[in-house]
Amino acid sequence: MSGSVPGGGVKSEPNLTPILDMVFQLITFFMLVINFKSAELDLSLQLPVLGSAKPLPDGAKIKLLVLNVQICTKCPHSGCDALATLRRITDDAKKVTGYNLVCERGHEEKWPQGAITNGKTCLTVYGRLLCKESRGKDFPGIEEYLQSEAELSMRAADPPIKNRDEIVHEGRELDDTVVIRADSGCRFGAVNFVITECQKQGYRRFALKTGQLEK
Amino acid sequence: MSKRHSSEDVELNVTAMLDMAFQLLAFFILTFRPPPGEAQIFLKLPPAQPVAGMTGTEKAGADENKDPSKIKTTKSLTVNLLDRESGSVTDVQVGIPSVSMKPVPYNDLEKELRSYFKAKEDSDAGQKGNAQGDYEQVVINASPTLRWEEVMKVVDMCTKFTTVKDGKLPAVSLSSAGPDPGG
């Protein structure tokens, strides 16, 4: 809009309507493609790549419990008592060029070994590292965490499962599928520990995640 | 401005709306992560049972002698994967633990499984194949220090076969040859 101002000059205002239209279109695009579920995936894990694995069909209605399994160790940074996990350093072509240990407090140290051999078994749940033993209120032990998830699944079952006896003695099972996202370098004992703990809670259906072969 | 109706042109101030829209846009751009290309192998994994084929509804010690046909047994083939703590497979044994376990070179494992199960492509083509026996399950018994990737390769191998009896995928079961060495 333009017009005269008392000084004699011309007042000009940009027309914001087209930019607003474009911004709303961008917002619509991002709203449609946003996926909050990916927040539960630990994208630093490198999954094993296999030929026969199939992607989840679109619109599949299955309840999933995602467990990111990896190995952690004590942070090598002096004076830090937090736990650290392995991060791969990749180049532009996604080729692994080295390894770092990144701890919960953000310390980052070079880790030339490339694998944590005798570390602790841990689950990554929304950025928290859960170990076999509890580390306080916000960091329950793996068994404790799975127990609380199983209780929610028991309540959500149709008909609801009232107590664990129905699972142990009457052969009922939880409907949820446990998605095991384990790092390819993780030891089998750690994954088997998590699977066994899930079985104790009544989970029977498992999906072992793999990366997809590049075409 | 219309002189005829002597009223003023009303224009909405869109600046505030634009500010808000930019904030929303910034939020969506910052939280956007493209979904990773992932696939999965679905398995039904019941817990390890001390008695072969016993279902959860059966009670231990129940008298099955009255009707032996009711005893459900699953014939399992065990694949032992040993790593001598190197993380990679060094020794493979195939067989039934209580009868005999045959050492097999790792590269020949798929060929060995072909003698117990029908290859999926043969099954799809309606061909008989050379497989003998009525095994329904593969128990992968791996060293706890073995890398997960190595175990998954064997799971992947097992999904390429079907049972001779009914042409279904053999049930795959995972077990560890020892406790998890980690804390």
Q: What is the pLDDT along chain B (183 residues), one digit of tens a residue?
A: 444 555 677 778 888 888 999 999 999 888 887 777 788 888 888 776 544 444 445 455 555 555 555 555 668 889 999 988 888 899 999 998 888 899 999 999 998 888 888 887 776 776 766 667 778 888 999 999 999 999 999 999 888 888 887 778 888 888 888 888 877
Q: Is A125 within the bounds of a domain?
A: yes
Residue keyed to tokens 């279904």: B168
Task: Give me the percent of chain A exceeding a pLDDT of 70.
Answer: 94
Domain residues for the domain of B133 are: 74-176
Q: What is the ipTM of this complex?
A: 0.80
Q: Do A212 and B183 touch (CB under 8 A)?
A: no
The domain total for chain B is 1
Counting one residue from chain A and one from chain B, the pairs whose CB atoms sit within 8 A come to 185
- pLDDT, one tens digit per residue, over B81-94 is 998 888 889 999 99
Chain B positions touching A208 (Cβ under 8 A) are 40-41, 43, 152, 155
Q: Please, is B116 exposed, middle or buried when counting C-beta atoms within 10 Å of its C-beta (0-12, 13-18, 19+)?
A: buried
Chain A positions touching B62 (Cβ under 8 A) are none
Q: Is B121 within the bounds of a domain?
A: yes
Q: Is A137 within the bounds of a domain?
A: yes
Domain residues for the domain of A185 are: 39-70+121-208
Backbone angles phi, psi at A26, to 5 degrees: -65, -40
Q: Is B89 within the bounds of a domain?
A: yes
Q: Is B133 within the bounds of a domain?
A: yes
Q: Is A19 within the bounds of a domain?
A: no
The domain total for chain A is 1
Q: Is B36 within the bounds of a domain?
A: no
Alpha-carbon distance B73 to B64, whole Å? 13
Q: Is A60 within the bounds of a domain?
A: yes
Element (H, E) at B142: strand B137-142
Nearest CA in chain B to A25: B25
Q: Is B127 within the bounds of a domain?
A: yes
Q: Are B128 and B122 in contact, with CB atoms under 8 Å apart?
A: yes
Q: Is A167 within the bounds of a domain?
A: yes
Q: Is A149 within the bounds of a domain?
A: yes
Q: Do B35 and A35 touch (CB under 8 A)?
A: yes
Q: Is A27 within the bounds of a domain?
A: no
Chain B positions touching A63 (Cβ under 8 A) are none
Bond from prior residue into A159 cis (ω within 30 degrees of 0): yes
Interface check for A127 against chain B (CB to CB < 8 A): the answer is no
Q: Please, is A73 exposed, middle or buried when counting C-beta atoms within 10 Å of its C-beta (0-12, 13-18, 19+)?
A: buried
Q: Is A14 within the bounds of a domain?
A: no
Q: Is B157 within the bounds of a domain?
A: yes
